[in-house]
Structure 1
Amino acid sequence: MTLPNTATRYLFFTGKGGVGKTSLSCATGLALVEAGKNVLIVSTDPASNLDEVLGVALSQVPTAIPGAAGLFALNIDPEASARAYRERMVTPYRGVLPAAAIQSMEEQFSGACTVEIAAFDEFSKLLGDPQATAEFDHVIFDTAPTGHTLRLLTLPTAWNEFIGSSTGGASCLGPLAGLEKQKALYAATVERLSNPAETTVVLVSRPEVSSFREANRTRGELAELGVRNLTLAINGLFTTEQTNDAIALAMSQRAREALANIPDALAGLTRTTIPFLPKGTVGLDALRLMAHPERAESAATSETMPQTPLPPGLASLIEEIAQGGHGVIMTMGKGGVGKTTVAAAIALSLAKRGGKVVLSTTDPAAHVAAAMDGDVPGLTVTRIDPEHEVAQYTREVLEKAGKSLDAGGRAMLEEDLRSPCTEEIAIFRAFARTVDEGKDGFVVLDTAPTGHTILLLDAAEAYHREVMRTQGDMPESVRQLLPRLRDKKYTRVLIVTLPEATPVHEAERLQGDLARAGIEPFAWVINQSLLASGTHNPLLCQRGAYEVPFVRRVADKLATRCALIPWLAEAPVGHHGLEQVVS
């Protein structure tokens, strides 16, 4: 059995996008019902593909899964919950406050924090009240709350009148303001989540350095809150001794190196490993293979890829970008899809064409300068340090907005300033300085602010508040930033994804956020495609076939321009490795 331990009644699966949380939670639930249990699977992921994986249309009430007696699932739509919640909070002020203030309030309630808290509100009804799920032996949650949300909800100050008053523009307190009545339910939920006799939290990771790093960060956040009933599930481990396939050998070697360097704290957790599965994990038969992977390996016989038209490589996009002579290129997407690699490859290519190029990143683990293995004429590598920017921003806010607060209010504001929204706003200011350099050459930015952050700062009241509580004036670079980001001739946004279900769904959602902010992506980049890799390993060929519908969806329906980068045997590090990304 390769699936996680299922001794507790409640199971939470958490991890970054694309690691296989939904598939693993469904496979675990299926194994439990086939052992005679009644199981409910609950998804709170805005980009959930639970319906697709289980092969049945789901709603917000338990739905029986055909072909799996005793298995039920429901799909909480946190965005719908967030929309309803936002409307409840804003409606009393329509016609009372100016339109600009209403716009600001709506955007304050449109971010990831609101969606996350709305999701927590929904599944607290299932986790905090045992009677709500009394007919089930196990309840499995696909996607757990982040440490930030849990910290907000466990602070006693969250439940006093402070959250309903002015907080100096705090970005995540607003979503809590209407939830005071849920105090007892939330307390029961948090307590149950941290009780090892009732709940197991499964950290899901790919056998990759970046994925392990994210899992370890989550582990640390949960441990700080007393949630230590954790196990690690490593999903998609590929191993081979085949010596005549460079792709297969390279994939196996990279996984071995990642496992050899797994963070010590993760290495100490109880671990299960699910081997690489070639056909994806959609449908009950595919899910059963996660428990019995040997059946998939014995069935893998094809050594040819399907014949389908593929998008061109990255070179054609870079050619078009180079013709502009200057401007900003932003790579955007979820963690682990290769944004930094794509940004570095584009910057290197532009510099080699004779352009003046600045490459900047916010990823603390993206050692871009080292990846370049030496200087490149015309290329300057810089780094926006998130810790420095957040520390400076936090200090300014606390000095201005925190002076009049009591100890409880200040603690609440300090927690709010640890939110993802705060980090984006702090980095946003640093981006403004860097984007300004695009007047005279190319600026390539890895990891850009989301559409929500752009709109948050564009809303007149929120923007004014952010400026006044930090620096009191508006530098020209900040004044020009929003118009520049919306100017197609100045800024080109590249959405980076992988040819898999969850990364494509999440990238599609990102494109929607950008559309709200008035930004149209220049292109999509599909990274690490086995379909285009040239491998003839049977398992990898089957996975290449699985990629086809996702490649076609991006190329035919979502993107105005699309580039495809194959999975490369040579790691994309150093000048030669990055040049392979472009060729």
Structure 2
Amino acid sequence: MQFLENPTRNLFFTGKGGVGKTSMACATAVQLADRGLRVLLVSTDPASNLDEVLGTTLSNDPTPVESVPNLSAMNLDPETAASEYRERMVGPYRGVLPDAAVRSMEEQFSGSCTLEIAAFDEFSKLLGDPQATAEFDHVIFDTAPTGHTLRLLTLPSAWSGFIENNTTGTSCLGPLAGLQAQTMLYKQTVEALADANLTTLVLVTRPEPSAFREAARSSIELQKLGVNNQHLIINGVFTCESSSDATAAAMQQRGEQAIAAMPDAIRNLDRSSVPLNSSGLMGVASLRQVGKSQTDQANDAAELPSIDTYPDGLGSLIDELASVGHGVIMTMGKGGVGKTTVAAAVAVALAERGFAVHLSTTDPAAHVAATIAADEQPGLTVGRIDPAKETADYTEEVLRTAGSDLDADGKALLQEDLRSPCTEEIAVFRAFAKAVSDGANRFVVLDTAPTGHTILLLDSALAYHREVTRQSSQMPESVEKLLPRLRDPDFTRVLVVTLPEATPVHEAAKLQQDLRRAEIEPFAWVINQSLVPLSVTDANLRRRQHHELPFIDEVGSSLAPRVALVPWQAEPPTGIAGLRRIVGSNRSLAH
């Protein structure tokens, strides 16, 4: 990998879920340690699998990795840090404020922003204080801070008393309130991140359009904050062994097309390409192979048995979904797993059965929605919730109400906070509330549904207003009516969408926990883009098929009440014909 030719002291790895951040960080750490350099590898990922990858039991302190001299690793647990942080902020109010108000505060400190800030709090102790890591030549961080975190922490007004006195209940000001005591440490941390002689930000992506878009967004946001020393890793680049395997040839072609069309924002970054690893990067031996060609990877695919047992396809769920005759179907999951495509496929399948269906998407490109509209599927209407418009409308409303009595500095801080991801989440939730009321008379299929945290945040806000003001809530009536409907399994069916890989499955499991905390029980899991149902002869793809099996089994045996397996598609599944393909039975694709 090119950036290892002359590496900076600090290396931060970032990228969307499932692209291989942890694998690339571990491989970098092992390869630097093999040179005789003293390396500390740090993960702030709540779902970290460093222990599993390195084969070493880790803790919150540096632990030597026995199989790699000179390498130590540690897992910073942001969940624990966030819990302790939340209690420091909420504890003084127990017994002082009404119970409903305390519950509202707890929920506002339980979301992604608090976790993000707590993670920054943890690794800033390592990055901002040079003495903390003086014994190491290199410090490698798996999971870098987002641009949103850094932007909040560099606001001069973020350290004013306004935060402590804020009562608007908006998204991220509360989590920032407890950080004032360490202003200098954070300042040093942000400066270290922006020092090109000291730090490299490594953007990890896959040769897929959605992953490239996420990498470009992160690159632009961090460059605006002065983090300019960036390197791009394209992980999982596939080269087929023989053009006679149609699936392998199509996979190579799709990757090449995605690379050719990557966004301009990252096109000119220094770049490394890492071949697809067909067997998963577990253990130090495999990490030492990262960057080598596919033909150098071990194992003989000819010895692998055929795969005859696996879950049915998406079509197996349609009968059960259709049985009620109306209601809301929501697809949920992390970015890049195919929520929009699955939602569109379900909507088309229901419409073809004669039901009236409305598909609502927040897909920024709206490619699926536009294709369906052009094909004019009878019984199906397609709408698009524009997050930018909904967020702008919501922001204007908050500034007009909660911000009406603030001074200029207070309004400036409130405006900055309203630019957070949490604000968009709430604004889109309100738009969903308007759309979902139609579910009483027809099917409404919602792509990119609100998270469990958002539901609880809004629910606790309603309780807070009722307890403290004893007046009607400012929340729209549609939101008040929506919450019980989302929790009604006869009205709302949630499909959790994931990929047959470690990180997407474990992140989906965490999402399911959040949903259950919000009293929503998922209806089924959809494992998307699986090679298991396909007939392939390419040796690397056969090994990849077997690598997917443990994750498919984990979902089916312990996580999901129902499972549907969607095969990887040689052609992007757009248009009515493409969406019909992913609903079709897997059995026609079997070996």
C-alpha displacement of 1:570: 2.7
**Would the aligned equivalents of 2:173 and 2:417 in 1 still touch at CA under 8 Å?**
yes
Find the aligned partners of 1:475 and 1:198 in 2 and give their Cα distance: 50
Q: Which residue of 1 aligns with 2:407?
A: 406
2:393 is equivalent to residue 392 of structure 1: yes
Find the aligned partners of 1:309 and 1:60 in 2 and give their Cα distance: 41
| 1:292–1:462 Cα change, 3 Å | farther
Q: Which residue of 2 aligns with 1:139?
A: 139
**Would the aligned equivalents of 1:305 and 1:544 in 2 still touch at CA under 8 Å?**
no
Q: Which residue of 1 aligns with 2:578?
A: 577
Instruction: Give CA-to-partner distance per residue, 1:460-485, whole Å, 9 cap, x none.
Output: 457639xx9xx975443222100000
Find the aligned partners of 2:5 and 2:457 in 1 and give their Cα distance: 42
Q: Give the alignment of 1:184-583 within 5 angstroms.
A: 184-240=184-240, 242-294=242-294, 296-297=296-297, 299-302=299-302, 306-307=306-307, 309-372=309-372, 373-460=374-461, 464=465, 473-583=474-584
One-letter identity of the residue aligned with 2:579: L
Find the aligned partners of 2:582 and 2:517 in 1 and give their Cα distance: 31
Find the aligned partners of 1:528 and 1:136 in 2 and give their Cα distance: 41
Q: Which residue of 1 aligns with 2:77?
A: 77
**Normalized against structure 2, the TM-score is what?**
0.95
| 1:540–1:303 Cα change, 3 Å | farther
Q: Which residue of 2 aligns with 1:34?
A: 34
Q: Which residue of 2 aligns with 1:104?
A: 104
**Would the aligned equivalents of 1:306 and 1:545 in 2 still touch at CA under 8 Å?**
no
| 1:472–1:459 Cα change, 3 Å | closer
Structure 1: any 5+ residue segments left out of the alignment? none
Find the aligned partners of 1:574 and 1:535 in 2 and give their Cα distance: 25
Find the aligned partners of 1:101 and 1:343 in 2 and give their Cα distance: 37
Q: Percent identity?
A: 62
**Would the aligned equivalents of 2:101 and 2:464 in 1 still touch at CA under 8 Å?**
no
C-alpha displacement of 1:571: 2.0
Query: Aligned with 2:152: secondary structure?
Result: helix
C-alpha displacement of 1:410: 1.8
C-alpha displacement of 1:370: 2.8
Query: Aligned with 2:195: secondary structure?
Result: coil
**Would the aligned equivalents of 2:29 and 2:140 in 1 still touch at CA under 8 Å?**
yes
C-alpha displacement of 1:306: 4.4
One-letter identity of the residue aligned with 2:336: G
Query: Aligned with 1:95: secondary structure?
Result: coil
My pick for the range that moved more, 540-549 or 292-301, is: 292-301
Find the aligned partners of 2:250 and 2:464 in 1 and give their Cα distance: 48
C-alpha displacement of 1:298: 6.5
Find the aligned partners of 1:149 and 1:545 in 2 and give their Cα distance: 39
Query: Aligned with 2:290: secondary structure?
Result: helix
One-letter identity of the residue aligned with 2:500: P
Instruction: Give CA-to-partner distance per residue, 1:399-424, whole Å, 9 cap, x none.
Output: 22223323322221111101111111
Q: Which residue of 2 aligns with 1:65?
A: 65
Instruction: Give CA-to-partner distance per residue, 1:159-187, whole Å, 9 cap, x none.
Output: 11111002422211111111111100000
One-letter identity of the residue aligned with 2:331: T
**Would the aligned equivalents of 2:294 and 2:540 in 1 still touch at CA under 8 Å?**
no
Instruction: Give CA-to-partner distance per residue, 1:198-252, whole Å, 9 cap, x none.
Output: 0000011000000000000001110111111111110000022622211111111
Query: Aligned with 1:271: secondary structure?
Result: strand
**RMSD over aligned Cα atoms:** 1.8
Find the aligned partners of 1:247 and 1:464 in 2 and give their Cα distance: 56
Query: Aligned with 1:25: secondary structure?
Result: helix
Q: Which residue of 1 aligns with 2:172?
A: 172
Query: Aligned with 2:534: secondary structure?
Result: coil
Query: Aligned with 1:145: secondary structure?
Result: coil
My pick for the range that moved more, 377-386 or 40-49, is: 40-49
My pick for the range that moved more, 87-96 or 339-348, is: 87-96
Query: Aligned with 1:204: secondary structure?
Result: strand
Find the aligned partners of 2:455 and 2:124 in 1 and give their Cα distance: 31
One-letter identity of the residue aligned with 1:568: Q
One-letter identity of the residue aligned with 1:30: V
**Would the aligned equivalents of 2:355 and 2:443 in 1 still touch at CA under 8 Å?**
yes
Instruction: Give CA-to-partner distance per residue, 1:479-520, whole Å, 9 cap, x none.
Output: 210000000000000000000000001000000100110000
Find the aligned partners of 2:298 and 2:100 in 1 and give their Cα distance: 63
One-letter identity of the residue aligned with 1:410: K
One-letter identity of the residue aligned with 1:14: T
Find the aligned partners of 1:6 and 1:541 in 2 and give their Cα distance: 37
C-alpha displacement of 1:395: 1.1
Find the aligned partners of 1:105 and 1:449 in 2 and give their Cα distance: 20
Instruction: Give CA-to-partner distance per residue, 1:538-559, whole Å, 9 cap, x none.
Output: 0011011111110000011000
Query: Aligned with 1:483: secondary structure?
Result: helix
Q: Which residue of 2 aligns with 1:156?
A: 156
**Would the aligned equivalents of 1:303 and 1:538 in 2 still touch at CA under 8 Å?**
no
Query: Aligned with 1:122: secondary structure?
Result: helix
Find the aligned partners of 2:4 and 2:172 in 1 and give their Cα distance: 34
Find the aligned partners of 2:159 and 2:131 in 1 and give their Cα distance: 25
| 1:305–1:403 Cα change, 3 Å | farther
My pick for the range that moved more, 386-395 or 304-313, is: 304-313
Q: Which residue of 1 aligns with 2:588?
A: none
Instruction: Give CA-to-partner distance per residue, 1:266-309, whole Å, 9 cap, x none.
Output: 11100000011100111111111113335644655438554362
**Would the aligned equivalents of 1:163 and 1:177 in 2 still touch at CA under 8 Å?**
yes
| 1:4–1:562 Cα change, 3 Å | farther
One-letter identity of the residue aligned with 1:129: D
Structure 2: any 5+ residue segments left out of the alignment? 585-591
Query: Aligned with 1:203: secondary structure?
Result: strand
| 1:306–1:34 Cα change, 3 Å | farther
C-alpha displacement of 1:565: 0.8
